[in-house]
Amino acid sequence: MYTKTLVRTCALAIVAIGAVSVANAQTVTELTFSSAAPVGSPWQKQYERFAADVAAETKGSVKINIFYGSQLGAENDVIAQVARGRVDMGGFTLGSIGLQVPEVLATSLPMYYDSEAQRGCVLDKYAFEPVRAALAKKNLSLLTWMEVGSQQIAAKKPLLTPADVKGLKIGVTINKMTAGLWEAVGAVPVATAVPEAASGLSTGLVDAYPTMAAFYVPSGLNKVAPVWTIVNVQMAPGAMIIGKAALAKMTPEQTAGLLRAAAKTPASQIRAEILAAESGMIAKHKEGGGTVAQANDAQLGEWKTLLAPYWSKVVKELGPAASEIFAKVEEGKNAPASQEETTWAIILKRRSRVHPRRVPSRDCWTHGIRPNAGWPSQPLPLSRRWSPTT
């Protein structure tokens, strides 16, 4: 009798445990995450960290399933699927996001920023909120800025000034922004798919190909075009985005946990990690006998002088909403600096034996002169980063 009772009790306990396990399993919300980044890339490490942070912040109730290497489709197509609710979220270049929300491209005009640090300051402190609001109108929510990298020029000789590229054939992905850029400086844009870049340079179909270090070195393009000219053609941000439909899958507690996870790693750190990886690749390029040509301030100024009218034209073509976002970007570049930042600038100038009164008191200007990686941008307070009601 005792044995039967014990067996029955154990059986009931097992059933109860199973029921609890099933109940717990039913509370787990799984989200699909799409990325064009390949396995083994710096972006994989960042996305895996985010997925782990989401699991921790939601106590395991939200699981991020990441698909790398465009497994769910080209990102130009996937961003549309996120807006429609067929894919939950992902990491995207600003170019692909611009296909859904063109005005966001006003934050990433070619050769517009003076430094990577200045761009980071503007994005984090001035552009985040207007871009978030623009995306919300298309059922997309901006979680955090990501980083694609800095686009430079791969060629067989240094191309440091607009005069150096005048009349040259530049391989590009044709769109209003890229075609207009090279036409503005007297070059000839030639439609060139990424897989055709090496053959185009080898055969003379194109004379130069703007690209990222993350492609230039691993692809072997640096063997065909051994001169890497740094003129900051494009400082290209990306963004981590989730769709409105995906948010509807989660409870308020899960949503709060996901937002905490997104805010856990500052955008400044995300940028620094990618740019550090770029630096490592270019160092390998130099070690292998490649050349790096760095434009000086005067040469960069020549590009900016020619491109200033082009920036205004592009923003106008992108529409009134782009003009509003660009106004915030301009505000960031010219805003008065905080007292702390101005003090730091004065200290740095004193060390350089330059009179402190000549220090420009601009918020994001000071980001470009602090040593090493620049003035690290602080993450926005959670309340300013995202709201379920917008």
3-state secondary structure 131-150: HHHHHHCCCEEEEEEEEEEE
Q: Sign of torsion, CA 110 116 118 121? A: positive
pLDDT for the residue numbered 372? 34
Most confident of 22-26, 61-65, 329-333, 370-374: 61-65
How many other C-beta atoms lie within 10 A of the C-beta of residue 212?
Answer: 19
Report which DSSP code applies to 365. T
Q: With the CA atoms of 138, 126, 110 and 374 taken in that order, what torsion angle do they form, in degrees rounded to the nearest 10?
A: -130
Please state, in angstroms and rounded to a whole number, the distance separating the CA atoms of residues 125 and 123: 6
**Which tokens is 97 given?**
């996001």
Least confident range from 155-164, 319-328, 359-368, 380-389: namely 380-389
Average pLDDT over residues 37-51: 92
Residue whose C-alpha is closest to residue 140's, from 195, 207, 91, 213: 91
pLDDT for the residue numbered 173? 75
| pTM greater than 0.95 | no
Please state, in angstroms and rounded to a whole number, the distance separating the CA atoms of residues 46 and 141: 19
pLDDT for the residue numbered 55? 98
pLDDT for the residue numbered 79? 95
**Which tokens is 164 given?**
């150096």
pLDDT for the residue numbered 76? 84
pLDDT band at 337 (very low <50, low <70, confident <90, very high): low
Average pLDDT over residues 67-87: 93
pLDDT for the residue numbered 107? 95
Judge residue 159's burial from the number of C-beta atoms within 10 Å of its C-beta, 0-12 exposed, 13-18 middle, 19 or more buried. buried
Instruction: Quote the radius of gyration of the chain (alpha carbons, Å).
Output: 24
Average pLDDT of the residues of the chain: 83
pLDDT band at 192 (very low <50, low <70, confident <90, very high): confident
How many other C-beta atoms lie within 10 A of the C-beta of residue 383?
Answer: 7
Q: Where are the alpha helices (DSSP H) in the chain?
A: 2-26, 42-57, 75-84, 94-100, 116-122, 128-136, 162-165, 176-184, 197-203, 213-216, 221-224, 244-249, 252-264, 267-287, 297-318, 320-334, 339-351, 382-385
Among residues of the chain, what percentage have pLDDT more than 70? 79
pLDDT for the residue numbered 175? 66
Amino acid at 26: Q
pLDDT for the residue numbered 26? 52
Residue 317: is its pLDDT beyond 70?
yes
pLDDT for the residue numbered 362? 62
Could you identify the residue written with the tokens 């989200």?
31
**Which residue would you say has higher pLDDT here, 235 or 59?**
59
